[in-house]
Amino acid sequence: MKIVLVAGARPNFMKVAPILAALHARRQTRPDLCVLLVHTGQHYDQAMSQDFFDDLRIPPPDINLCAGSGSHAEQTSKVMVAFEKVCDAEKPDWVIVVGDVNSTMACAITAKKMGIRVAHVEAGLRSRDMSMPEEINRLCTDCLSDLLFTTDTIACENLKREGVPEEKIHMVGNTMIDTVVRCLERARSLPLPSGLENGRFAVLTLHRPSNVDNHETLADILGAVSTISERIPIVFPAHPRTAANLAQNGYSNGSHLQVTKPFSYLPFLGLVSRSRMVLTDSGGIQEETTFLGIPCLTLRSNTERPVTCQVGTNILVGTDPARIREVALSVLNGFRRRSSVPDKWDGHSAERIADTLVQ
Ligand code: UD1
C-alpha cells in the first residue's frame, strides 16, 4: 500500500507531522506500507517552511515540487502539472491532503482525475464565504474525497447536508492539536522575547488578503491595535504578505507594538501559550487558543471553525475598530468566557487517521 502525503504551506506542516509519524509507526505491523512526503513548495522561505520542518522534526520531503508563488491559477496549475508527474511515476493507492490551501485542492483534483483515492484531513469546515479562496478549496477537495476526516461534529453535519455518504466521514479530532500536545513543553521552555513577561502581553497575526491587501481595513485594524497597545504590549509576527503591505503603507513599530519577522513553530507556540490574549485572522490559531484556554479575538466576520466560538475561547469581532477595542479592553479588564476543549482534541487524531487508512 503506497500513500502520498502532501504538504504545501505553513499551516499544513503541523498537520502532516503527526500523520507521518503515525503512518511510519504502522510500518512495524504493515511492512508493505510505503509513505512518501511531497512538499509542493507553495511556501518556500526558510521562516515559512524549513524552520517548521526543523521544529516539528519532520524528515526532509521525498519530493519537492518547487511550485512557489503566483496568482491562484498559476500556483494551482504549477502544483497540478508537477504533482501529476509524481502520481504517474509513483502510482500511489492513496493521496492524503490536509487543510484548505491551494496545494490541497490542486493535489486532490490531480489525484482524483488519475483514479487515485483521496483522503482529506480537516474536511467539512465551512465559512460560507465564497470570497475566501480557502472556502473554494474546501468545497472542491471535499466533494472529490473518498475519506473525509473531520475535527468536530459540526463539520460532519456540514458534509452530510451536502450529501456525502456517512461511511466516508470519520470524526477523528484535530491533528494540529496533536502537534500542540507533543510540542507544548518544549515550546514553553524557550525564553520569551526580551521585555515580555508571562501573561502580560498580547499577540497579533494578520495575513488574510481581505484584511491586509485592503488599505482601509488594514488601517482600521492597526488603529484599534494601537489603542490596545497603550494597555498591553503587543507582538506582531508579520507574514511576508503583511510585511510587504505594512512597508508599502509606511507602518513601523510603535512603542508598544513590536512588528517582527514570522516566528517558527516552537517559539510561536511558546509565545501564544504564555500570552494574555491573541488577535488574529488565522484559522489554526483559533483552534490552538481554544485548546490552550487563551482568549482569542478573531478579526473576521465569519469562521469556518464555529466550534471554537461555541465551546472554546474564540470571539468573532470582525474588523470594526470600535468593536475590536471594546472586546479587547473587556478581556483585559477580566472578562473571561467559560470554555472547554472539543471532543477528541486529545493528541491522538493522527493515530485514528492511520488506523482507518491501514484498515
Ligand atoms: C496561504 C493560504 C492560506 C493560509 C496561509 C498561511 C491559499 C489560498 N492560502 O496564504 O490559506 O492561511 O498560506 O500562511 O493557499 N510568500 C513569501 N514566502 C513564502 C510564501 C509566500 O514571501 O514562503 C509571499 C509571496 O509574495 C506570495 C505571498 O506571500 O505571493 C502569498 O503566498 P501564498 O502561498 O500565495 O498565500 P498566503 O497568503 O501565504
Give the whole-angstrom CA distance, residue 54 versus residue 346. 24
Instruction: Please check whether the two domains, 2-174+345-358 and 187-332, share a CATH topology.
Output: yes
Of 39, 120, 170, 207, catalytic: 207
Strand partners, 37: 5
Tell me the CA end-to-end span of the chain in Å, nearest whole number. 11
Return the amino acid letter for 45.
D
Please state whether beta strands 202-205 and 94-98 pair in parallel, antiparallel, or not at all (unpaired).
Answer: unpaired
**DSSP 8-state secondary structure symbol assigned to residue 304:** S
**From CA 65, how far away is CA 41, in angstroms rounded?**
6
HSE, CB side, 13 Å, CA atoms: give it for residue 177.
25
Per-residue confidence (pLDDT) for residue 23, from 0 to 100: 98
Q: Which of 122, 98, 121, 97 lies closest to 110 in space, CA to CA?
A: 97
pLDDT reported for residue 188: 98
| pLDDT at 256 (0 to 100) | 83
Q: What residue ranges do the domains of the chain occupy?
A: 2-174+345-358, 187-332
Tell me the CA–centroid distance for residue 9 and ligand 1, in Å.
Answer: 7
Q: Is 120 a catalytic residue?
A: no
20, 38 in Cβ contact below 8 A? no
Sheet holding 234-237, edge to edge: 257-260, 234-237, 202-205, 277-280, 296-298, 314-316
CB atoms within 10 A of CB 143: 15
pLDDT at 143: 97
Atom 20 of ligand 1, residue of closest alpha carbon: 43
Residue to mutate, 132, 207, 261, ligand 1, most ligand atoms under 8 Å from C-beta: 207
Which pLDDT does position 257 carry in this prediction? 87
Ligand 1 binding residues, C-beta < 6 A: 9-11, 42-45, 48, 69, 75, 100-102, 133-134, 207, 239-241
- Give 40 Cα–ligand 1 centroid separation in angstroms: 13
Name the β-bridge partners of 169. Answer: 148
Residue 212: predicted pLDDT: 95
**Run means of pLDDT, 10 residues per run, the chain, 359 residues:** 97 98 95 97 97 98 98 98 98 98 98 98 97 97 98 98 98 98 98 95 96 94 95 95 90 82 97 98 98 98 98 98 98 92 98 95
Q: What is the CATH number of domain 187-332?
A: 3.40.50.2000
The domain made up of 2-174+345-358 has a fold known as: Rossmann fold (3.40.50)
Q: Please choose from 43, 65, 77, 212 the residue to mutate so as to test ligand 1's pocket, defined by most ligand atoms within 8 A of CB.
A: 43
Report yes or no: 171 and 251 within 8 Å, Cβ to Cβ. Answer: no
Query: How far is the CA of 338 from the CAs of 199, 230, 290, 311, 312, in angstroms?
Result: 18, 27, 11, 8, 8
Q: What is the predicted pLDDT for the residue at 193? A: 94
